[in-house]
Amino acid sequence: MAVSALACCNPPMRVLLIEEDARQCAHIRRRLVAWRPHAQLVVHSPVAQGALAPEFLAQGFDAVLVAAEWPGGHGITWLGELAGRRGFAPLVLLCGTDPSAARDAAALGAYSVNLQDLEREDFIRVLTAAEQRQAHARALWRTSAPGRETQRFGDAFVRDYRCIRKIANGATTDLYLAESERAGSLVVLKVARDRRDENNQPIDAFRRFLQEYEIAQRIQTPAVVRLHDLGVSDEHAWLVMEYFPRGDLRKRMRQPVTPRQALLLAASIARALTAVHAAGVLHRDLKPGNIMLREDHSVALIDFGLSKDAALAMDITDTGTIFGTPHYMSPEQGHAEPIDERSDLYSLGVILFEMLAGHKPYRAENPMAIVYKHRKEPIPRLPRAFTAVQPLLERLLAKTPKERFASAHEAAQALERTLERWQARAANG
């Protein structure tokens, strides 16, 4: 049995509109809300946002409206591709007076509506039919054996989430790409395995997930991952978070990163830390794998399971325990000493060095040797081409917190000034 912490009543009608014309979008929104005051219209721009993800079936929508055409695209072409996805939501082509468009839509199993009929009952009749068809499809999906199997994530059954594929194995959790009916989008579902500690006691994954969820919900900034849901199923804790098609900074760093890109990314991370620290939270595990990249090239921090939250007075690691990732730990964190916001800034310095130099500042054969080097070895030098960035890097990677920037805000300003100087020098040759 799956239990969600966010169980709620049936959601209002939700419609996805694929359209470029802003006036047409506004018109359809007014018409929809006049009929169903609580209805939701989500607009997808085919020009700015491109094609819908190939795994997406629009299960969270009662109907998908597709414009007949837009600059560089035709609705009937999209209709043919989407209709070919088994289980896709009911499709409606918004066509003109040409009867052939309606016939083409019908041949694909889709509805059609003449744009001149938006104010008439024909539009409402088509949406009602689409809604009823989708309700029937959802009922079959939830109750049939094949449908229930798609709601299984490893050993956990999580209702209303369609498993697409496993995307990663962690030390204690598995990550799955899924589609959320409630969110109306692709999501990542993190499932904790049934793991026990050295004393054969269950690992308290739900408490860690709950902390992560509460932190992200309270901060409410694009700089932090959006978390949709959490719960327990078959004794497995699970957490649902937004999906980032571009992946994380670790993936981005497999390709060359220019100095401008590195400084811009570092400044964005510092701004994200500013928001996190302002909420009384220390991340404590800042690394490229926990920095996600959005479609607009901004960043979002994830994985607050190891964070220390002053507002919640919650620290679920044992006193004296070393936690985090050794390559990115500050000297004080690596030695289980008290830490503050400046520890996260040290981790940012490690990431900046790695982006510019192409390797980590301290390397060794075992974790404890790396921890030792963070405290005892000199701050490494960047390649000669990046000499102008070295003073800033030394502030971030200072061995003691008092020698670093006083805050993430101060670090962000320094990074932005360095970026401006770098760009000015590049412009002047």
Active-site residue numbers?
A: 285
**CA–CA distances in Å: residue 233 to residues 153, 204, 308, 314, 378:** 10, 14, 27, 24, 49
If we measure between CA atoms, which residue out of 128, 236, 242 comes closest to residue 178? Answer: 242
| Longest CA–CA separation in the chain, Å | 78
Angle in degrees, 0-180, between the axes of helices 22-35 and 121-143, rounded to the nearest 10: 80
d(CA 382, CA 277): 28
Which tokens in the block code for residue 135? 């309700």
As a whole number of angstroms, the distance between CA 392 and CA 410 comes to 11
Cβ-contact 364, 334 below 8 angstroms: no
Q: Where are the alpha helices (DSSP H) in 61-98?
A: 75-83
Tell me the C-alpha distance between 369 and 363, whole Å.
Answer: 8
Is there a contact between 7 and 229 (Cβ–Cβ < 8 Å)? no
Please give the structure tokens belonging to residue 144. 């049939």
Kindly state the tokens that stand for 191. Answer: 């499932």
Q: Looking up tokens 């239990």, which residue turns up?
A: 3
Q: Which two tokens stand for residue 183?
A: 């969110």
Q: Nearest to residue 67, comparing CAs of 12, 23, 120? A: 23
